[in-house]
Amino acid sequence: MLLLGLKYALLLAITGCFLVPIHGSGSDTDQVLPHRIYRLLDRLSGGGRLSASSTFALLLSQFLIKQKLRYVAPTRYERQLYYHLLHRMEHIRRGSGLVSREHGVQGEILSIAFQANVLLLPPSLKLGELNANGEYEQLAEVYPKVVNEGQLNRTQSDLCLRDIVELKPPHCKLLSGECLELLASDAPAYGYQRTHQVLLLYVLEHQACAPHLSPPQVYELLAKSQCDEVEREQNAIRSLGLPVVYRDLYLEQATICGLFGYNEFVNWRNVMEIGSWLEGDSPKDMDVLADDGDSQHISDLALVFYTNALLLLH
Ligand SMILES: *[C@@H]1O[C@H](CO)[C@@H](O)[C@H](O)[C@H]1NC(C)=O
């Protein structure tokens, strides 16, 4: 613990000059998340066109901050930090050129997601609501085999997400019924197929049309039953020793179920774990990683994970 504290104190001392001046903030641990978020933003602002995944991560992070500001009065320190983050994120997105609908399905999604017809809901950390006793040892044995099973694959997920973000009140007509059926299905799904379902559920719950389609409790019940399954998968992955090949998936699971506020996913243990993968702690390591699409995806997820953790854990 002492070593860890020392490491962060040093990090903050070295890189403190890149941070906004912060007045009235508390201990050093208060700075861990802002510091990591700024590092990820620095990386994204390096110029060049943003990937679809980076753009989505920025849009979602901005949405989370605005939603928090709408429901919880910030302290002076928080207000300064949140508005500064929003400003940076907006600046990075605009600097990369805004995405247009001409860029295929992903362009259609990114030109509207979290920007129109959104429904803000009060954010909250949910303690111990998930099933802590899900069987995971047998799942761990077969995990490499089942991890690719189930719906929705990437193509289905993009099409469904496009349909969801394009819903418009007052008609709220969903183009294909298949999309909703897949979200509510209790057919087995694992890995990214499952996380796609949970992400779509989150986006749908925060769509202006959500109350027309189902009562709010339905979204929460579905989220709970899906994240119960995801927790089982995370326990299986942990029991395998959290191998490097599953890091991206593990972070995607933690990020997306963390959006619903479950503390089994959004907690300091995960913040520290993920930090240890990402931050080789020297700019050189970051450059090596920057060539790698997978590492960009991990950074995009981390941006959302840290932003959500900043809003829920402080
Ligand atoms: C995704 O799933 C659909 C429906 O099962 C299938 O038709 C399609 O080929 C799949 N796409 C990929 C890329 O696997």
Tell the residue nearest (CA) to atom 14 of ligand 1.
153
H helices, E strands: number in the chain: 15, 0
Compute the distance from residue 152 Cα to the ligand 1 centre, in Å: 8
Q: How many domains does the chain fold into?
A: 1
Could you tell me if residue 285 is inside a domain? no
Radius of gyration for the chain, computed over Cα atoms and rounded to the nearest angstrom: 19
Angle at CA 256, nearest 5°, toward 252 and 258? 115
Residue 15 has pLDDT above 50, yes or no: no
Residue 3 has pLDDT above 50, yes or no: no
* Residue type at position 195: T
Residue 253 has pLDDT above 80, yes or no: yes
Mean confidence (pLDDT) of the chain: 87
Report which of residues 175 and 87 the model is more confident about. Answer: 87
DSSP state of 50: P
Residue 7 has pLDDT above 50, yes or no: no
Q: Which atom of ligand 1 is nearest to the CA of 154?
A: 13
Compute the distance from residue 154 Cα to the ligand 1 centre, in Å: 8
Mean of pLDDT values over 247-260: 98
Domain ranges, residue 305: 30-278+294-312
Tell the residue nearest (CA) to atom 7 of ligand 1.
156
Encode pLDDT of 300-314 as tens digits: 999 999 999 999 998
Could you tell me if residue 5 is inside a domain? no
Could you tell me if residue 283 is inside a domain? no
Angle at CA 213, nearest 5°, toward 207 and 215? 95
Compute the distance from residue 156 Cα to the ligand 1 centre, in Å: 7
Encode pLDDT of 17-61 as tens digits: 344 444 445 566 789 999 999 999 999 997 778 999 999 999 999
H/E element, 154? helix 154-165
pLDDT for the residue numbered 184: 85
Burial class from Cβ neighbours inside 10 Å (0-12, 13-18, 19+) for residue 297 reads middle
Cβ pair 17, 72 in contact under 8 A: no
Distance, in Å, from the CA atom of 25 to the CA atom of 81, rounded to the nearest integer, reads 10
Percent of the chain's residues with pLDDT above 90: 73
Peptide bond into 312 cis (omega under 30): no
Residue 274 has pLDDT above 60, yes or no: yes
Compute the distance from residue 144 Cα to the ligand 1 centre, in Å: 20
Tell the residue nearest (CA) to atom 2 of ligand 1.
153
Which has the minimum average pLDDT: 24-38, 208-222, 281-295? Answer: 281-295
DSSP state of 16: G
DSSP track, 241-253: T--GGGHHHHHHH
For residue 294, the tally of other CB atoms under 10 A from its CB is: 10
Could you tell me if residue 17 is inside a domain? no
pLDDT for the residue numbered 183: 86
Tell the residue nearest (CA) to atom 8 of ligand 1.
155
Residue 5 has pLDDT above 90, yes or no: no
Question: Where does ligand 1 bind, in terms of residues with CB under 6 Å?
Answer: 153, 155-156
Could you tell me if residue 134 is inside a domain? yes
Distance, in Å, from the CA atom of 135 to the CA atom of 201, rounded to the nearest integer, reads 24
Residue 149 CA to chain centroid, in angstroms?
22
pLDDT for the residue numbered 276: 92
pLDDT for the residue numbered 280: 61
Compute the distance from residue 157 Cα to the ligand 1 centre, in Å: 10
Pocket test for ligand 1, best of 148, 152, 155 (most atoms within 8 A of CB): 155
Cβ pair 209, 117 in contact under 8 A: yes
Which has the minimum average pLDDT: 83-92, 145-154, 175-184, 189-198? Answer: 175-184
Burial class from Cβ neighbours inside 10 Å (0-12, 13-18, 19+) for residue 306 reads buried
Tell the residue nearest (CA) to atom 4 of ligand 1.
156
Compute the distance from residue 223 Cα to the ligand 1 centre, in Å: 24
Residue 266 has pLDDT above 70, yes or no: yes
Encode pLDDT of 95-106 as tens digits: 887 777 777 999
Mean of pLDDT values over 58-71: 98
* Residue 292: pLDDT band with limits 50, 70, 90: low
Percent of the chain's residues with pLDDT above 70: 86
Distance, in Å, from the CA atom of 28 to the CA atom of 218, rounded to the nearest integer, reads 40
Encode pLDDT of 163-212 as tens digits: 999 999 999 987 677 888 888 888 999 999 999 999 999 999 999 999 99
